[in-house]
Homo-oligomer: A and B are copies of this chain.
């Protein structure tokens, strides 16, 4: 019997038929990432039932030197959960570990297994007048473990922060199979540096997150969705500052897109209408919310406040025009426009996309400087930047020149453009991965561009915590 056969026999005995499969029909959906960019294979698909089983499985892997690839909903953007194509890695699904504890309404928190799906968490919180404020496109499949391991972002980061800000406690299985258990949150605890931070954004390279205690927030009472036209990105940023000053704690979303981008969306969605008749260099989508339990005795009305802020911004020329969604349907229609930017841009032809960030204050200057620079370097391309102005997170697309052969373009010019975008972002003290993580997609770019001291620290911690290199090897770093 080969080592793998021995290992598989022992794993099978440990996990039982529901816990281990090599059936290609069952493993196939999970060995390729959902966007079809990374194609892997696996030794087997393990689905442990609980932390104890996973702990025993990891011990077995350590003894047989079998590498593990943890996976949640397989909805990641960077191939972080796709095994290597050699079929030697064990794919470990956390999806069975989807127990959700009772929600503590008074403390506004809940303990979830790693396999709990974001949508289920939303629903459970909503049923009790609370909410989990992080949301993103893949909410129907993304799991708590994956959200933590990638420090997921989304559209609510401006007010609530990324996943890191929601994690109060963590349980993780280490490379040795030992269980690090710190699920009981303490508001104050100074017994050394904060170990749970090691597992947030580590993409399963330092340990496998098995459960977490998460912070919830009060449900939304009122929501006001605004569409505004701005004369420049600088003006849009001024508008953000004003909104944050006059509506403290209320601004949850602040998205920007340029006029051509909106035009493409309107072309792509024939039934959609422009929120404003005014054409402008930039359009801004703002979402402001008030908690359901508004302060007692408070006479504030969010909509009135928004109207006052916009009137003032109009008068000062910070916005050229603005409207407040008159109904929930109209608010949704505004958001649909924003969410259709990516598909609309794709419909324009081949494009290469970048999930980058720069310091918030530099974002207008970055876009205004870098876009013409890149268009000049690659004649015929068009730079389209849009996204979370409030977070300094730009979705930066470079659209191919008309009439190129997509395959040739992707294999050649697109790669060169990406490298250049990453160079420029690095020069601007930004990040080549704002919210999608590194995975395998950007691993080599990180190695090429990261500060060598930072890279040395990442690798030193990795070696210390996973000396055999069995936890998700080939992801995040080499």
- Using a CB–CB cutoff of 8 Å, the interface residues on chain A facing chain B are 104, 106-107, 150-151, 153, 157, 162, 164, 174, 178-182, 184-195, 197-203, 206, 218, 241, 245-249, 291, 293, 295-300, 304-305, 308-309, 312, 357-361, 388, 390-393, 429-438, 446, 450-451, 453-454, 456-458, 460-461, 463-465, 476-477
Residues of B within 8 A of A200 (CB): 193-194
Interface centre among A191, A248, A357, A391 (most CB of B within 10 A): A191
User: Contacts A104-B361, A451-B181, A465-B460; is A198 near B193 (CB within 8 Å)?
Assistant: yes
- Do B191 and A446 have beta carbons less than 8 Å apart? yes
Residues of B within 8 A of A291 (CB): 248
- Do B179 and A453 have beta carbons less than 8 Å apart? yes
User: Contacts A185-B359, A195-B457; is A438 near B178 (CB within 8 Å)?
Assistant: no
Give the CA-CA distance A434 to B197 in the complex, in Å. Answer: 18
Give the CA-CA distance A305 to B453 in the complex, in Å. Answer: 51
A–B Cβ pairs within 8 angstroms, 6 of them: A151-B194, A248-B249, A296-B308, A296-B309, A460-B464, A463-B464
User: Min CB distance, A214 to chain B, in Å?
Assistant: 15
Give the CA-CA distance A200 to B408 in the complex, in Å. Answer: 48
Partner of A359, one of B184, B198, B358, B465: B184
- Do B246 and A433 have beta carbons less than 8 Å apart? no
**A187-B357, A195-B458 known; 11 other A-B pairs, CB under 8 Å?**
A153-B188, A157-B187, A162-B188, A162-B190, A180-B453, A188-B393, A189-B357, A193-B200, A198-B457, A248-B291, A296-B312
Chain B residue with Cβ nearest A359 = B184
- Do B295 and A300 have beta carbons less than 8 Å apart? yes
User: Min CB distance, A55 to chain B, in Å?
Assistant: 11
Interface centre among A157, A357, A361, A453 (most CB of B within 10 A): A453
Give the CA-CA distance A300 to B203 in the complex, in Å. Answer: 45
Partner of A194, one of B157, B164, B187, B300: B164
Chain B residue with Cβ nearest A304 = B297
The count of identical subunits is: 2
Residues of B within 8 A of A107 (CB): 360-361
Q: Which 7 A-B pairs have the closest CB atoms?
A: A464-B464, A197-B197, A189-B431, A188-B434, A299-B299, A193-B202, A187-B391
Residues of B within 8 A of A199 (CB): 193
Give the CA-CA distance A184 to B453 in the complex, in Å. Answer: 16
- Do A358 and B194 have beta carbons less than 8 Å apart? no
User: Min CB distance, A298 to chain B, in Å?
Assistant: 5
Residues of B within 8 A of A151 (CB): 190, 194
Residues of B within 8 A of A436 (CB): 190
- Do B431 and A191 have beta carbons less than 8 Å apart? yes
User: Contacts A192-B458, A248-B295; is A358 near B300 (CB within 8 Å)?
Assistant: no
Chain B residue with Cβ nearest A207 = B457
- Do A190 and B434 have beta carbons less than 8 Å apart? yes
Residues of B within 8 A of A157 (CB): 187-188
Chain B residue with Cβ nearest A185 = B359
Residues of B within 8 A of A460 (CB): 464-465
Chain B residue with Cβ nearest A164 = B194
- Do B195 and A201 have beta carbons less than 8 Å apart? no
Partner of A246, one of B188, B248, B296, B391: B296
Residues of B within 8 A of A458 (CB): 192-193, 195
Chain B residue with Cβ nearest A290 = B248
Partner of A305, one of B203, B246, B296: B296
Residues of B within 8 A of A437 (CB): 190
Residues of B within 8 A of A164 (CB): 194
Chain B residue with Cβ nearest A434 = B188
Residues of B within 8 A of A304 (CB): 297
User: Min CB distance, A126 to chain B, in Å?
Assistant: 18
User: Contacts A189-B431, A192-B202; is A456 near B178 (CB within 8 Å)?
Assistant: yes
Chain B residue with Cβ nearest A104 = B361
Give the CA-CA distance A104 to B362 in the complex, in Å. Answer: 13
Residues of B within 8 A of A457 (CB): 174, 180, 195, 198, 465
User: Min CB distance, A65 to chain B, in Å?
Assistant: 19
- Do B450 and A150 have beta carbons less than 8 Å apart? no
User: Min CB distance, A131 to chain B, in Å?
Assistant: 15
Partner of A192, one of B106, B184, B434, B438: B438
Chain B residue with Cβ nearest A391 = B187
Partner of A300, one of B192, B198, B299: B299
